[in-house]
Amino acid sequence: MKVGFVGLGLMGAPMSRNLLKAGHTVKAWNRTKSKVDAFVADGGEAASSPQDAAEGADVVIIMVTDSPDVQAVVLGEGGVVHGMSSGSVLIDMSTISPEVTREIGATLGEHGVQMLDAPVSGGVLGAQNAALSIMVGGPTDAFERVTPLFEAMGQRITYCGGPGMGQVTKLVNQVIVAGTMAAVSEGLLFGAAAGVDLDAAFKAVSGGAANSWQLENLGAKLLQDDFAPGFMVKLQQKDLRLVLESAKEMNLPMFTTPIVHNMYRAVEGQGHSDEGTQAYIKGLEALAGVKARSEKS
Amino acid sequence: MKVGFVGLGLMGAPMSRNLLKAGHTVKAWNRTKSKVDAFVADGGEAASSPQDAAEGADVVIIMVTDSPDVQAVVLGEGGVVHGMSSGSVLIDMSTISPEVTREIGATLGEHGVQMLDAPVSGGVLGAQNAALSIMVGGPTDAFERVTPLFEAMGQRITYCGGPGMGQVTKLVNQVIVAGTMAAVSEGLLFGAAAGVDLDAAFKAVSGGAANSWQLENLGAKLLQDDFAPGFMVKLQQKDLRLVLESAKEMNLPMFTTPIVHNMYRAVEGQGHSDEGTQAYIKGLEALAGVKARSEKS
């Protein structure tokens, strides 16, 4: 297929390469020009604007950070809407507001363009290995047409429902991810305060009813004083902000998620925004005056 | 070995049978006499009191509910301490307070009896299949002597440290278990409120960074309106009470665990104490006025 691609960041760079590898023609735009040059060196085409990336494309893929970014590159001056032809499909793979997604979709509909929201999980490693989990909302006929593109970038591709439902599913994912990290951290900190050997405790509790991806991967990392990001605190905070904004729109009370968001705010205040989400433990440690790990010398 | 066994409840009944199957001689006492009769029918011996169960035993195992229960059957009138000989070992496999554990251990020490705390996870199914996870605290020489007994009842046997550290590790487990269930529930309820197909969302988020034993097992159950216990709300509440009491002793602030305990209190107030811990969602549903599942007709 002929694909326009907007956003060659940590995620978009490997995703766009996987489309090239699968034999698609990809013309890309990115705010920082050097990333476009690197993309051309890898066999892609350069676009001078989002609109230019969209000209003549069957499908345009957006992979940027937040709701206003998507609004700008899709509907703003030089945005893809001005280049897309009737009958083409826009896929937004960023994680943004479900409500904003539906608004953008409605505007695109007036131009005869179908929109799919298709946020991903699996991180940079998943993007590199074409192993992303992709959660898709929007019209089923558009979903079926672009499935080969999803298959070039991901492994677990789930159709979740109508417009915005991919975003809703991604936010469900983030609520669970953040809350599970909070549970893992609070359990380990309790053990540390009580003086248990945390390596023994970790061994005892992983594998059973307490086990989770978060415990096995990020719990193990934090015990080794390893706070390199997988997924950065500031991005988790952006996603939890989207959750709480959406909950407010729905007048939905949430019980533990705002508390977890609040602790991450403290962690950001400590200067750990760019660390991995396992830095949650640093907030608890400051609150309790107890360390859950031996810091590296 | 010659084993005295106190407590033939849902867990103790299959655990004591697994000791018989492994060739040990087991003399058991239980408050309700009919359970002792059933044990005798299965090849065990009957004791008329905890003290009687302990007479002549190399090892006495306790499997009851809470700290006062253990204190009563060990140190009370007719308690095992009055029957145990110097050099024998008491193993408390109940989940109780780490602090009370250390007090009982100190008293037993005055009688020349060593104590191990060895709470378990894995539930009734784990007890039946001799597949329990066993977290052990206490003297290492006692641990080594009784390891064959643990191997007859469990699969993952972890030595966690000195007296009380088995209990601390079990409480770490429970903090993580309860917090993960809260995260799973809050995520699914958010999805339900936003109108997503929860079966699709469940499929999309399980298997990735949001995955956990709680999501895979109890999340799946609650979506099917299945609230049969695995592990009952009232027992989770007992364990979280032990966590919070222990945290108070240590002057340790906890951040999300008291909130989760509080939601389970609401769930108990709704009359769901004897349901499985996945009934957490019922508290959220009442708070939000949203259902996360189709109730069975």
Judge whether B14 is closer than 8 Å to chain A, CB to CB: no
SS3 A276: strand
Kindly compute the dihedral angle of the four CA atoms of residues B266, A179, A117, B216, in this order, to the nearest 10 degrees. Answer: -80
Last residue in a domain, options A162, A189, A211: A162
Which DSSP state fits B191? H
Mutate: best of A255, A263, A281, A287, partner B, most B CBs <10 A? A255
pLDDT at residue number A114? 98
Last residue in a domain, options A138, A162, A186: A162
Do residues A218 and A134 share a domain? no
Residue A294 has pLDDT above 90, yes or no: no
Judge whether B244 is closer than 8 Å to chain A, CB to CB: no
Judge whether A53 is closer than 8 Å to chain B, CB to CB: no
Distances (CA, A) of B103 to A189, B46, B82, B109: 24, 29, 17, 10
Given A170, A238, A282, A296, the catalytic residue: A170
Residue A193 has pLDDT above 70, yes or no: yes
Residues 6+ apart with CB under 8 A from A84: A54, A57, A60, A90, A108, A111, A113
Q: How confident is the model at residue B252 (pLDDT cuts 50, 70, 90)?
A: very high
Sign for the pseudo-dihedral over CA of A265, A269, A270, A273: positive
Judge whether B64 is closer than 8 Å to chain A, CB to CB: no
* Min distance A83 CA to chain B CA atoms (Å): 32
Do residues A147 and A241 share a domain? no
SS3 B292: coil
Residue B297 has pLDDT above 60, yes or no: no
Mean predicted confidence (pLDDT) in A164-192: 98
Q: In this structure, what token pair is assigned to residue A180? A: 């599970």
Per DSSP, the residues of A215-262 read: IIIIIHHHHTT----SSBHHHHHHHHHHHHHHHHHHT---SSHHHHHH
Q: Specify if A293 maps to a domain.
A: no
Phi (first) and psi of residue B117, to 5 degrees: -100, 130
Do residues B203 and B253 share a domain? yes
SS3 B284: helix
Domain extent, residue A200, equals: 168-288
Q: How confident is the model at residue A296 (pLDDT cuts 50, 70, 90)?
A: low
In the Cβ-directed half-sphere of B181, how many Cα atoms lie within 13 Å?
A: 30
* Chain A residues in contact with B206 (beta carbon < 8 A): none
Q: Specify if B296 maps to a domain.
A: no
Query: The domain that contains B147 carries what CATH number?
Result: 3.40.50.720
Total structural domains in chain A? 2
Judge whether A111 is closer than 8 Å to chain B, CB to CB: no
Do residues B208 and B117 share a domain? no
Query: The domain that contains B244 carries what CATH number?
Result: 1.10.1040.10
Q: How confident is the model at residue B255 (pLDDT cuts 50, 70, 90)?
A: very high
pLDDT at residue number B294? 72
Q: Specify if B293 maps to a domain.
A: no
Do residues B234 and B95 share a domain? no
Nearest to B131 by CA among B5, B15, B238: B15
| Distance of alpha carbon B119 from alpha carbon A67, whole angstroms | 49
Residue among A160, A193, A209 minimizing CB distance to B197? A160
As a whole-number percent, the residues of chain A with pLDDT over 90 amount to 97
Q: Specify if A296 maps to a domain.
A: no
| Distance of alpha carbon B120 from alpha carbon B230, whole angstroms | 14
Do residues B175 and B60 share a domain? no
Which DSSP state fits B296? P
Do residues A142 and A267 share a domain? no
Q: Specify if A173 maps to a domain.
A: yes
Residue B283 has pLDDT above 60, yes or no: yes
Do residues A115 and A56 share a domain? yes
Q: What is the pLDDT of residues A233-255, one digit of tens each?
A: 999 999 999 999 999 999 999 99
Interchain contact, B256 vs A180, CB within 8 Å: no
Mutate: best of A117, A170, A198, A212, partner B, most B CBs <10 A? A212
Nearest to A159 by CA among A180, A178, A140: A140
Residue among B200, B210, B214 minimizing CB distance to A173? B210
For chain A, strand residue ranges (E) read 2-6, 25-29, 45-46, 59-62, 89-92, 114-117, 120-121, 132-137, 154-161
Residue A297 has pLDDT above 70, yes or no: no
Do residues A206 and A148 share a domain? no
pLDDT at residue number B207? 79
Q: How confident is the model at residue B293 (pLDDT cuts 50, 70, 90)?
A: confident
Residue B178 has pLDDT above 60, yes or no: yes
Last residue in a domain, options B162, B191, B226: B162
Do residues B157 and B206 share a domain? no
* Min distance B296 CA to chain A CA atoms (Å): 23
Q: What is the pLDDT of residues A62-107, one digit of tens each?
A: 999 999 999 999 999 999 999 999 999 999 999 999 999 999 999 9
Q: In this structure, what token pair is assigned to residue B46? A: 């009957």
Q: Specify if B294 maps to a domain.
A: no
Q: What is the pLDDT of residues A15-73, one digit of tens each?
A: 999 999 999 999 999 999 999 999 999 999 999 999 999 999 999 999 999 999 999 99
Judge whether B236 is closer than 8 Å to chain A, CB to CB: no
Task: Please give the model's pTM, rounded to 2 decimal places.
Answer: 0.95
Q: Specify if A245 maps to a domain.
A: yes
Mean pLDDT of chain A: 97
Q: Specify if A295 maps to a domain.
A: no
Q: What is the pLDDT of residues B59-87, one digit of tens each?
A: 999 999 999 999 999 999 999 999 999 99
Mean predicted confidence (pLDDT) in B226-246: 97
Do residues A172 and A158 share a domain? no
Do residues A98 and A191 share a domain? no
* Chain A residues in contact with B160 (beta carbon < 8 A): 196-197, 200-201, 204
* Min distance B235 CA to chain A CA atoms (Å): 15
Instruction: Indicate the length of chain A as a whole number.
Output: 297
